[in-house]
Amino acid sequence: MADDGYRQPAFDAQVLQRILDGRYAAVRDLVRDNLVEHAQVLDDADMMPREEFRERVREIVGLIAATGQAGYGFPEKYGGGGDIGASVAAFETLGFGDLSVLVKVGVQFGLFGGAVLQLGTESHHDAYLEDLISGRVLGCFAMTETGHGSDVQSLETTATFDAATDEFVLHTPTESGRKDYIGNAARHAELAVVFAQLEIAEESHGVHAFVVPIRRDGQPAPGVTISDCGDKLGLQGVDNGRLSFDRVRVPRTALLNRFADVTAAGRYESEIENSNRRFFTMLGTLIQGRVCVGGAGLSAAKVALAIAIRYADTRRQFRTAEDQPEQLLLDYGIHQRRLLPLLARTYVLHCAQEVVAGRLHDVFTDGADERTRRALESRAAGTKALATWHATWTIQECREACGGAGYLSVNRFAALKADTDVFTTFEGDNHVLLQLVAKGLLTDYSSDFSDLDQLGMVRFVAGLAVDGVLERLNAHKLLERVRDLLPGGDEWDQEAGLLDSNYQLAMLEFRESHSVAGVARRLKRGIDLGMEPGEVFSRVQDHVIFAARAHVERLVLMAAVEKFQALPDGAEKVAFGLMVDLHALTEIERDRAWFMEHGRLTTQRSKAISREVNDLCRKVRPLAVDLVAAFGVPDAMLRAEILGEQAS
């Protein structure tokens, strides 16, 4: 390696951990302690039959509730902590442990509790919050149906107002209208927040949420049919079930009425006139779940990396010279290439997650205008998609990097793989979430989000927005801005140093602007040619997803660059900077074909980027064990037997 002034940083993993832990270090440490105290659950997950393990998980959720750790996000008045940021930090950290526990906590306190808190009003809060925060009453979140998951505006369950008795009648009209995959429903929930089409005098007002008792003394309530989803790929400790309602009556006050209400006379009242907008405003209050899932996915990836990198630093295989010991796996170039960019991306996504969690806290604590809320929802959606795909990929690569040992349950990957697998499709399918991101980009978050689907997007773009989109994303202005930041004038992308973060960001920003504008043009052209909107959308859809992803990747890198710039000088900053550079160049390398196709990368420079990625991997290699140590995964959560063995 040429002497480029680089000196290997001698950094302190604990100092770096405090940097990563950020504002809620104390909360994270409390959760770490609780995880270690209940570490036995990792074994129980392997050993216990399903029903027994479900009870065990319920028990732990109760114990966790008793520590106060699960209630951070609720008002202090009801025994909560009154700190949304703390509740996200606690949930993320819980992701180091058994993920059935995590998801059951998420269902109870995030989905069920969050719906009561956000969609209900004081009478609901008074009635339910204290009991649900303490874990005395368990509930579930009954939105998804067998027939509709992504398209929740098309749910079939009905809630018909009966003025004669002042009640709503909840009903499942068809097989495809049964509630499905509902966590906590098969065994433990007494209450459900049920999403249903509100109907008054044969007029539909769209989807609303109702608190419905579904179980009494362990038995289904009258009119409620409950069945069990049975074995799943993972998360066996969560009792997912199905709910059907046969004309189940609840009082009028069961409507969670923060955004809309029905009077005793049967008049429908809401401050939000447009029914779609009302629905998406309601949904928007529930985005904490998405933020939490993304963060938990990253925690699972951290566990996998901690095991695989520590293993690779002790496991030896093959000699490279007769008189040498066998070589450590992590000294192989291909092993570095497989694991270290994933480590870097985990650091960078951690920063992006921190920004999203911080904004969530601010918006829900201090309030915000609608555009800010929409932008946050979009960012939460995109970050969740990238973080959970990253988790799936990272855990897979780490398993393979540990070979046969990685296949044994005792080494943790089995549970990590199985339990996280659904993260990419629950709390919003990742592809659908990226479409939501694209929608926000194309409409500049100014739309009332009246149509989440492709029809709405196509129609919107066809109608009016293209010029606005193009102007807003004017690549010309971007290039001017970049010229000011980077040397090289019009040749900025050929002259700037590869490790200049302005260059890295400019590349991702160019890709974003160019691809979003391209999507707008293509949609417009299709409509102008008179094609069916559905056909237009289907043809452009891969481009739509690409553009959304390009946008989120830029936000992700920017979050890490800003965190880096704010760090005090020192060895920790140098190490952190290596992570940012390695990630940024790996991302440009991954998509280098696109940059070449669009004139922003010469073939020579493209090859230089690949060489730089290899150089960075070699620089990171001696730091890798400390870099995973800084994630602060408790040793008891690694469990991995392979780490306890000396290399042969």
CB 433 within 8 A of CB 386: no
* Of the residues 484, 542, 566, 568, which one makes contact with its own copies according to CB under 8 A: 542
Q: Does 532 bind its own copies (CB under 8 A)?
A: yes
Residues 125-144 that bind its own copies (CB under 8 A): 144
Closest CA to 405 of 332, 318, 310: 310
The window from 203-211, 290-298, 326-334, 564-572 that contacts its own copies (CB under 8 A) reads 326-334
Look-up of token digits 């555009």: 371
Of residues 219 and 648, the one with the C-beta less far from its own copies: 648
Of residues 141 and 181, the one with the C-beta less far from its own copies: 181
CA 518 – CA 320 distance, rounded (Å): 51
CA 206 – CA 196 distance, rounded (Å): 8
Q: How far is the CB of 597 from its own copies (least distance, A)?
A: 4
Q: How far is the CB of 24 from its own copies (least distance, A)?
A: 31
Phi first, then psi, for residue 190 (nearest 5°) are -95, -30
Residue type, 290: R
Q: How far is the CB of 248 from its own copies (least distance, A)?
A: 22
Give the binding-site size for its own copies (rule: CB under 8 A): 88
Residue type, 157: T
Q: Does 124 bind its own copies (CB under 8 A)?
A: no
Q: Does 494 bind its own copies (CB under 8 A)?
A: no
Residues 350-409 that bind its own copies (CB under 8 A): 392, 396, 399-400, 403-404, 406-409
Residues 510-529 that bind its own copies (CB under 8 A): none
Look-up of token digits 């770096």: 16
Closest CA to 412 of 646, 635, 90: 635
Hey, how many other C-beta atoms are within 10 angstroms of the C-beta on 202? 6
Of residues 95 and 234, the one with the C-beta less far from its own copies: 234
Q: How far is the CB of 429 from its own copies (least distance, A)?
A: 6
Q: To 10 degrees, what angle do helices 571-590 and 501-528 make?
A: 30
Q: How far is the CB of 634 from its own copies (least distance, A)?
A: 22
* Of the residues 413, 492, 576, 631, which one makes contact with its own copies according to CB under 8 A: 413
CA 145 – CA 181 distance, rounded (Å): 8
Q: Is the dihedral of CA 149, 153, 154, 157 positive or negative?
A: positive
Of residues 6 and 407, the one with the C-beta less far from its own copies: 407
Q: Does 206 bind its own copies (CB under 8 A)?
A: no
CB 637 within 8 A of CB 96: yes
8-state DSSP, 327: P
Q: How far is the CB of 212 from its own copies (least distance, A)?
A: 21
Residue type, 240: N
Mode of pairing for the β-strands spanning 241-245 and 248-251: unpaired
CA 581 – CA 596 distance, rounded (Å): 20
Q: How far is the CB of 33 from its own copies (least distance, A)?
A: 27
Q: Does 150 bind its own copies (CB under 8 A)?
A: yes
* Of the residues 14, 174, 225, 565, which one makes contact with its own copies according to CB under 8 A: 174
CA 10 – CA 626 distance, rounded (Å): 10
Q: Does 537 bind its own copies (CB under 8 A)?
A: yes
- Residues forming beta bridges with residue 219, ordered by sequence position: 216
Q: How far is the CB of 35 from its own copies (least distance, A)?
A: 21
Of residues 132 and 616, the one with the C-beta less far from its own copies: 616
Q: How far is the CB of 509 from its own copies (least distance, A)?
A: 20
Closest CA to 593 of 601, 585, 583: 601
* Of the residues 44, 83, 98, 180, which one makes contact with its own copies according to CB under 8 A: 180
Look-up of token digits 């070589």: 327
* Of the residues 222, 534, 622, 644, which one makes contact with its own copies according to CB under 8 A: 534
* Of the residues 23, 125, 337, 522, which one makes contact with its own copies according to CB under 8 A: 337
Q: Does 592 bind its own copies (CB under 8 A)?
A: yes
Per-residue x/- track, 416-455, its own copies (CB under 8 A): -xx--xx-xxx--xxx---------------------xxx
Q: Is the dihedral of CA 202, 205, 206, 212 positive or negative?
A: negative
